[in-house]
Amino acid sequence: MNARFNLFENELAAKFGKRFANASLVIAQSPLPKSTQELVSLRASQINGCGFCVDMHTKDATAAGETPVRLNLVAAWREATVFTEAERAALALAEEGTRLADAHEGVSDETWAQVRKHYDDDQVAALVSLVALINAANRINVIVRNPGGSYEPGMFAELTS
């Protein structure tokens, strides 16, 4: 499978990609735990059917020390015992924030209360920004049909330098 369009070889797309990567760096450097960042990114990517991002966030999470059991259970996190209450709140926010069109109220008050219970203001800001950013990344990659499988951890590090 080949992508419809090579975003990495187009000058405008490359400029946008650099700015996109810099926005993700703000989140990466936030106090939101790295494991939570990867779990949220993976779950949104699963929902959106983004093979490229599922590949990326599975590999980045593994490189950061995440366990195969937890990664394999992200799609069924509600029926799994391996996630903390804070992670469960973040995963619920990721799902509800990704499926905005499926619910008239968007993110529920219950989910928001759980997020606020477990995360401070900077972590909440990072979490909300992450959900928005990963959904944008998913849409970009799904639109151009960027396939999963070739990602190597750290391969986009030069974009943020």
Residue 33 CA to residue 19 CA, distance in Å, equals 23
Select from 131, 133, 82 the least CA-distant residue to 111.
Answer: 131
Cα–Cα distance list, 5 to 11, 77, 114, 138, 145 (Å): 13, 34, 40, 15, 8
What is the arithmetic mean of pLDDT over 6-10? 88
- Report the number of secondary-structure helices (H) and strands (E) in the chain: 7, 0
Residue 26 within a domain: no
Residue 16 within a domain: no
DSSP classification of residue 78: G
DSSP classification of residue 105: T
Residue 124 within a domain: yes
Residue 18 within a domain: no
Question: Residues of the chain with pLDDT > 70: what percent?
Answer: 98
Q: Which are the contacts of 115, defined by CB distance < 8 A and separation ≥ 6?
A: 89, 90, 92, 93, 124, 127
Residue 17 within a domain: no
pTM for the model: 0.93
Query: Domain total for the chain?
Result: 1
Residue 2 within a domain: no
Residue 43 within a domain: yes
Residue 22 within a domain: no
pLDDT tens digit string along 112-127? 999 999 999 999 999 9
pLDDT tens digit string along 92-108? 999 999 999 887 789 99
Residue 160 has pLDDT above 80, yes or no: no
Select from 52, 70, 51 the least CA-distant residue to 61.
Answer: 70
Q: What residue numbers bound the domain in which 114 lies?
A: 32-149
In CATH, what number is assigned to the domain containing residue 82? 1.20.1290.10
- 50 CB-contact burial (10 Å; exposed 0-12 / middle 13-18 / buried 19+): buried
